[in-house]
Each structure stands twice: as structure tokens, then as C-alpha cells.
Copies of this chain bind each other. A is one copy, B any other.
Amino acid sequence: MKQKVHSGSKPKLKECLEEEAYLELCRTTDLLSRRLGGLLKAEDLSANQYNILRILRGSPDGLPCGEIGNRMITRDPDITRLLDRLEKRELITRCRETKDRRMVMARIAPGGLKLLAELDEPVREAHAGQLAHLGRKRLWALMELLQEARSEG
């Protein structure tokens, strides 16, 4: 996920505005991601693993693997292996659904909740430290623009 983009040369005339905007986006995301990455690495979590945990925390009833795959845009064999690692560390649990026994529901486990809870504060502080200087107004403006950017892709 980490995508690095060169930030050196001045924009050539031929480069279109959309491309420049994309580069800005990459640079910014990359910069902001580094701190978070450091926090996660200290807990031996990959960004994807962290995302899964947060998704599952938001769905206390659990989610089928396929649904996780849809949200992450990741193929199901890869989701399976991601969940394998998380399950081995007892951060999540899996159990087969009784209704539709084709599905396996993944739920966050106490260990996963605890780990997330420990990360919440530093993560929030990291983001605040990096973005608070924008202020509420510009943050809202930024979020709105980003949503609009995705709204018609």
C-alpha cells in the first residue's frame, strides 16, 4: 500500500492537473502513513492486518470472509491467510455459520480488542500531530474534496 512518489522535479507543462493532484495525494498519504506504520510495526501488525481488526471491531457480530475481501479488495485466498495469522495470535476467532454453512464468520477476539485499544491513543495522537495544524475548517474541506474525488471514478 505504501506508495512512494517522487517529489522532486517541477511540473512539466505537459503534465495535467489531474496527474499533479494524484501525485500530491500520494505524497501526502505516504508521509502520513509512515508514522502509523511505525506504530503498527512495533506490534507486529501489517497495515492490512490492522485494517481487518478495525473492520471487525466495527462489526461485533462478525463478518464472513468474503465480505472482508470485498471491503479490502483482496482475493479470498489472501484473506484466508491474513485471517490465519490473526487467528494464530488469537486476535480474531473464526467459526462456521450455522445457517449457511458455507460461510465462516470472523469476529474480533478479546486480544484483538485489547491490542486495538492500546493502539487507539498513539494512533490518534500521531494523526492529530500531523494534521491538527490544518484546523477543523480545512479538514472538513479536505474530506469533502476527497469524497467528491471518489464519487465519480
Contact = CB atoms under 8 A, between A and B. Distances in A.
Interface of A: 1, 3-9, 13, 15-22, 24-34, 36, 47-48, 51-52, 54-55, 58-59, 71-74, 120, 123-124, 127-134, 136, 138-143, 145-153
B31 A143 contact: no
A21 B72 contact: no
B140 A24 contact: no
Main secondary structure of the interface of A (DSSP, over half): helix
Q: How many copies does the complex hold?
A: 2
B25 A25 contact: yes
A33 B28 contact: no
Given A19-B123, A131-B153, A133-B152, 12 more contacts: A3-B47, A18-B124, A18-B130, A19-B128, A22-B127, A24-B147, A25-B25, A25-B28, A25-B142, A26-B33, A29-B29, A134-B148
